[in-house]
Amino acid sequence: MSDSHSAAGSPDFSGLDGGNEHQAMDAVQKVLAWYNKRIAAAYRAPVPEESQIAELKAAREIATGDLARLESAGPEETARIAAAYAALLKEAGPEA
């Protein structure tokens, strides 16, 4: 597994094998925080885009559900969730 932090100092989940519940929870929580920042920024826009805000809120609800699911998820479900959120973090880049 690679170092747990990238050169920029943000967590690097690219090496997740998916079996670690704590790493999966950390990834989901970081994505939730990213969604919250984006929602807040969207509300502060001079002309808030309601459709963008609705999409972000829907994505945040899914992430909240996935975080709750991790409580009882087996290794395969944990791996799926971890991989999905590691990909989201990678896609979000340094602002996540």
Q: What is the pLDDT of residues 56-74, one digit of tens each?
A: 999 999 999 999 999 999 9
Signed CA dihedral, 20, 23, 29, 31: sign only: negative
Percent of the chain with pLDDT over 70: 80
Domain boundaries, given as residue ranges, for the chain: 21-95
Q: Which one-letter amino acid corresponds to residue 74?
A: G
Q: What is the pLDDT of residues 28-56, one digit of tens each?
A: 999 999 999 999 999 999 999 999 999 99
The pair of structure tokens assigned to 93 is 């880049």
Supply the pTM of this predicted model: 0.75
Q: How far is CA 79 from CA 15, 21, 71, 83, 86, in A?
A: 12, 8, 13, 6, 10
Angle between helices 75-92 and 21-44 (to 10 degrees): 40
Size of the chain in residues:
96
